[in-house]
Structure 1
């Protein structure tokens, strides 16, 4: 019983001595503002250099650092885009209020040079809804009777065929009279014959056929649906040459050659 009393008394005295000799911790608090404008600075990192003590300012620029031991310490405030604030403080047992002003500072970095070799690419045609056929492609296109440029164009998306006995182009809901048809720059108003079964374009005499179904260039105007531009072949300037054909409904003959000197 006596030993228990002595042991309890010893522990009590030892704890009292530890409490009495422990150094009291202080508190550092204050506001962080921008120098010049005096605007409060949120999200600024404020810490004691060399110690694992610090805080971040709230949306009103206020910070509190608890548990700072007495002595001389360096208070640091840091924020990207601003010069670091440093101040040496003598911390005692009492709470310390320290307001901070930070000055803006431009961040200077080394010059960055980007170099690359220029790649020459061919010019691209960005005309929307443009279809181009060469004369050789029109000749091998499937046809019920004979190769016909208009019949080939009627198979394209956006172009409707009214019937098998009509060579009119119904482009995107428009009627044939809303199409601009050009042959070597000359405008045509009727491009069908034989009761509309055939068009007036012989496939053997065509060099290229171009159909524009939207976004016409400025050189074309006066039509709503499409522009059909047909360029005929230049012909053989060296010798006479002819191409012909016979079907159950029609016959054709195309001749080309020099017309004499001059």
Structure 2
């Protein structure tokens, strides 16, 4: 008698094994995208493969990973606004994982004249007028006492007052200065002023970005009634050592930074007199 069950099992097992082997052959490319000069991570850089369209944007650390790539030769494209586009040829073997860290150089974007016209929007969504982002360039351009200061820049914003001219204390939404939540890289700073309140504790050369939320902040920022100031520090130069020193009528400060293994270090200090 002919055994039909045995005949049917063999092709089924063959299909399963072939499918598993094909899946195991897929490769992977990963790495970090950084600034060519400073080594700072580029957040939101576009990384994709030209032939397949497989791509993603880098995270807050400049990291990307492209998976399930069929073995072969491809062109990896990296683009970021304000930087030159990078094209890199890669070749993936079966089940190969490539780690590729890439650097982008700054490039001025030249465009022709652009006319923009639009009608008034009937409805605006996701508008947050109480949220303000401050870059080091904005902070250094603002009027200051002896040297650039984050708190002095914030005092010039609408809806922000100060207790007196010599103080950096922030009075927002009618609350006292102690009703503001001050954060440095997510860590609460309980005493954010220096030299009797004339300066803040944050050195502009060590700051990457500052975000001020004057109202309507999330429940994660608890324990305060007025506002939230979240200051993000720079990561340091990953390519080479460099330093900067400045002296004013009231203080002297220095900032040193350089590479350290796969990362970087940054040291910033100030002395008042």
TM-score (norm 2): 0.49
- Give the structure 2 partner of residue 163 of structure 1: 164
- Give the structure 2 partner of residue 251 of structure 1: 252
For residue 258 of structure 1, give the secondary structure of its aligned residue in structure 2: strand
- Give the structure 2 partner of residue 145 of structure 1: 146
Aligned partners of 1:135 and 1:207 also within 8 Å:
yes
- Give the structure 1 partner of residue 173 of structure 2: 172
- Give the structure 1 partner of residue 237 of structure 2: 236
Question: C-alpha distance in 1, partners of 2:195/2:163?
Answer: 16
Deviation at 1:260, TM superposition (A): 4.3
What is the root-mean-square deviation of aligned Cα atoms in Å? 1.8
For residue 218 of structure 1, give the secondary structure of its aligned residue in structure 2: coil
Deviation at 1:125, TM superposition (A): 4.7
Question: C-alpha distance in 2, partners of 1:144/1:193?
Answer: 13
TM-score (norm 1): 0.51
Question: C-alpha distance in 1, partners of 2:145/2:217?
Answer: 32
- Give the structure 2 partner of residue 91 of structure 1: none
- What residue ranges of structure 2 are gaps of 5+ in the alignment? 1-124, 264-273
For residue 164 of structure 1, give the secondary structure of its aligned residue in structure 2: coil
User: Closer, same or farther in 2 for the Cα pair 1:240/1:125, shift >3 Å?
Assistant: farther
- Give the structure 1 partner of residue 133 of structure 2: 132
Question: C-alpha distance in 2, partners of 1:231/1:261?
Answer: 21
Aligned residues: 140
User: Closer, same or farther in 2 for the Cα pair 1:135/1:245, shift >3 Å?
Assistant: same
State how 1:166-205 maps to structure 2 within 5 Å.
166-205=167-206
User: Closer, same or farther in 2 for the Cα pair 1:235/1:125, shift >3 Å?
Assistant: farther
For residue 166 of structure 2, give the secondary structure of its aligned residue in structure 1: coil
Question: C-alpha distance in 2, partners of 1:203/1:234?
Answer: 13
Question: C-alpha distance in 1, partners of 2:237/2:152?
Answer: 27
Deviation at 1:165, TM superposition (A): 2.3
Deviation at 1:261, TM superposition (A): 5.9
Question: C-alpha distance in 2, partners of 1:261/1:153?
Answer: 35
User: Closer, same or farther in 2 for the Cα pair 1:261/1:128, shift >3 Å?
Assistant: closer
Question: C-alpha distance in 2, partners of 1:242/1:139?
Answer: 18
Deviation at 1:176, TM superposition (A): 1.2
For residue 153 of structure 2, give the secondary structure of its aligned residue in structure 1: helix
Q: Deviations for 1:168-195, whole angstroms, at most 9, x for unmatched residues? A: 1111211111111110010011111111
Deviation at 1:224, TM superposition (A): 0.3
Deviation at 1:218, TM superposition (A): 2.7
Deviation at 1:128, TM superposition (A): 3.8
- What residue ranges of structure 1 are gaps of 5+ in the alignment? 1-123
Aligned partners of 1:165 and 1:195 also within 8 Å:
no
For residue 257 of structure 1, give the secondary structure of its aligned residue in structure 2: strand
Aligned partners of 1:164 and 1:197 also within 8 Å:
no
